[in-house]
Structure 1
Amino acid sequence: MPPPDAPMEQRAEAFRNLYHRIKDEIGKVIVGHDEIVNGVLTCLFIGGHALLEGVPGLGKTLLVRTLSEALSLKFNRIQFTPDLMPADILGTNVVMETPEGRRSIVFQRGPIFANIVLADEINRATPKTQSALLEAMQEQSVTVGGTIHQLDKPFFVMATQNPIEQEGTYPLPEAQLDRFLFKLIVGYSTRRELATILDRTTRNEKAVVEAVLDGGTIRAMQALVREVIIAPHVQDYAIRLTLATHPEGEFAAPITNQYIRWGASPRGVQTLVLAAKVRALLDQRFNVSFEDLRRVYLPSLRHRVLLNFEAQAENIDTDTVLLKVLDHVPEHVADSLPAAV
């Protein structure tokens, strides 16, 4: 990655090359799921967390593990189970005895102290254990025994969950869902993709994934994303897309008032803009377009909107509601955005 004082065109070209290189490395193992891979990489270059939801066996865990192999970063996997305790994730203070016979309290780090943490089947742990991740995901630190321990940077939580099996699971609270930048729905493979999967996995062959990026390069790419420009009227479109999810609000769509109980938080519009900036860079542009925002709308907001009982009774899902909200919001409005106070 060129230095920060290099021309933006040069750094943007390096960004695209590195993005496609790491995607090619992941493609050595993961077949298809282009949108899911793009979503995970977008979270990586924004500097946030991703939640992957899908039935077992679709490659969610394999995708995150393969991503870790393509990065020169520390990776830890945590298997969430009902008996998992917060100390099993964060670590704990233990009493150590020196060869001289003296005793001292030493903090024993847990698996959260890594650059990439795979929280596998996160909804199988109890709420008490799930909440242990809240501080880490937001402040990138953990507090044990009154002492704050900073996590290594960059820091990402990639979590997986199974939406079908509900027995013995604990759905994530809204506050924790809001800390994930993207919620990605992993679907089934196509006929051609299944054929490729069989060719790769039922023969005596093993793909070798090479490390492409290190922590310093990732941080430089994250800084570049924030330099992409967004025009005031495009930013206002992102704001109105978020406000349109607020029931009885000024910009609420009819379907919002009918089916949505709670709308998206400010983190939603922040994610919209940052993710759109990544899409703009990949499209060889230095400014965000309306289409960039539309492309990242669903993964940015689907976990930040809470449907009401009527929607659940009629078996209407969040994506269906959000797509109609997206159609309702115009790109331009006659009035201008009020000046900031």
Structure 2
Amino acid sequence: MIANAYSYDGPTYNNSFRSYSGVIKMISDNFGQNYEQMASRLDVILPMAYISNGGVYGSNKAYMKGYVRTVASYVRRAMTIGGSPSTKVIVAIKTYGSADNGSVDASASGALAGGAHGFMPFRYYTCKSSWLSVMKNYCVPGTNRPIAALSFSAQGQTMNLDPRSSHDGQDPVSKLTVRYDLDGDGKLDTPILKMGVSSRLAPSPGQRTVAMQVTDTEGLTAWTRRRIYVPNSLALSFPMLSASNGGKVLFPCNAGPGGAGRFYLTLGSATGTAPGIGLGGGVTLPLVYDSMTFASLLLGGSSIFPGSLGYIPSSGKVSPAFAPTRGLLPQALVGTKLYFAAAFFAPGTFYPEGATNPVTLYIIP
């Protein structure tokens, strides 16, 4: 990614750097690269910095170090603001034929001082072996770090996360452990798990980013991240219901095996789906609270809302319903829509763990 000196320090090149927001705007406007917007899509980012004797900093090593330090610091900040603080920042230091060991030293130390996870000097056609003696001062001996690999499949609203293709140069796969960041916010959401398929209830259907940390017996870790899609978990047996005749509409719900044992509650709304009802724990039920919501809560499990609450069996599937009798729905509802969605809660604690997509029921005469 572009991280040239002009964007950070130009045109005077005296380490009087532009503000963070100024640099982000300049690079975005001139090169189409917005660090913050790219953050959630990157496992590693390599901001390309420039050093050169006789270049913009001449032989001023302090300025070289200050520039590369600022590049690392700003990019780390952008990854955090962009929602992906676990993205690795490796400053790519573009060296020139005139670069001496002092230039490489200043840049490598500057990258690490700015919070970068590492650095990688590169040069088209030319790489001086003398640089290696400098770089080794900022490196650790080689390790048998594990290699993280994650595959995915969905069953209803359950994410089946399979880390078994991960490997390690020293430990057998069975000795590796994993943890997951289920919402891509850079925070690990699960305890330490043994190697094997983990079936986890997704907080909601739709596209999301899941990250995985693999750890070996030496405590060495590796990360990987992937975008996954969780399909809708709530459906309708029929999209219309007669206000005059009443009837019964089923809402087949497939939470998947990750939902087994959870308590579920199906509610309705006559108003809409946004902004939704915040249940806590980052879970939002996509319904607007109104009198319909209150009625479906009060009458949950009754003949009007049969099967609207209970515990999810091992199959992960339930079929709540809306079954108003003839004449129960007022004619004023004809031509309007009712909305339904379900929420999932942890057994025992009833801590909110997820919510389905909403479904829409049209009321006809």
TM norm structure 1: 0.24
Higher strand share: 2
Higher helix share: 1
> Which one has the largest radius of gyration?
2
